[in-house]
Structure 1
Amino acid sequence: MATEEGCNVVLVPNHAGRMERNLVPLRGDTSTERITDFVDDLTTDALRKVSLFHVADAETERDGGRALLESSRRKPVDAGIDDRLIDVDLVVSNDVVGTITERAKEYDAIVTGGTEPSLVDRIFGDIPHRIGQVAGCPAFVVPPRT
Structure 2
Amino acid sequence: MTAPTPTVVVQIAAQERETVSETLVEFLAPLPVVLVGIVEIPDQTSSEQARAQFEDEARQTLDTVADLFADAGSDVETRLSFTHNARRTIEQVATEIDRVAVLFPAPTKSIERVIVAVRGGINVPNIAATAAAVLEETDATATVYHAAKEGADTDAIEQAFTAIVSAMEDAGIENGRVTTTIERADDELTALVDAANEHDLLVVGEDEPKLTDRIFGDTSQRLAERTVVPLVVVRRPPVEE
- TM-score class, shorter: 0.7 to 0.9
Question: Cα offset for 1:120?
Answer: 5.5
Check 1:136–1:91 CA distance in 2 against 1; reply closer, same or farther (3 A cut): same
If the length of structure 2 is used for normalisation, what is the TM-score? 0.54
8 Å contact kept, 1:112–1:141 = yes
Give, as a single letter, the amino acid of the residue that structure 2 aligns with 1:127.
T
- Within 5 A, what are the aligned runs for 1:25-64? 25-43=117-135, 45-64=137-156
Which of 153, 172, 175 matches 1:83? 175
Once residues 4 and 59 of structure 1 are traced to their aligned partners in structure 2, the CA distance between those partners, rounded to angstroms, is 37
The 5 Å alignment of 1:1-146 reads 1=91, 2-6=93-97, 8-43=100-135, 45-115=137-207, 121=213, 124-146=216-238
When residues 116 and 89 of structure 1 are mapped into structure 2, their CA distance, relative to the original with a 3 A threshold, is: closer
Secondary structure at 2:100's aligned position in 1?
Answer: coil
Instruction: Indicate conservation of the 8 Å contact 1:35/1:112, yes or no.
Output: yes
Q: Distance in 1 between matches of 2:212 and 2:167?
A: 34
Secondary structure at the counterpart of residue 164 of structure 2: helix
Could you state the TM-score of these two structures normalised by the residue count of structure 1?
Answer: 0.84
> Larger Cα Rg: Structure 1 or Structure 2?
2
Q: 1:118 to 1:64 in 2, by over 3 A?
A: closer
Opposite residue 151 of structure 2, the aligned amino acid is: E
Distance apart, 1:64 and its partner CA: 4.1
> Distance between the aligned counterparts of 2:110 and 2:124, measured in 1?
24
Aligned residues: 146
Change in CA separation of 1:29 and 1:70 when aligned onto 2, cut-off 3 Å: closer
Runs (5+) with no aligned partner, structure 2: 1-90
Higher mean alpha-carbon deviation, 134-143 vs 117-126, is at 117-126
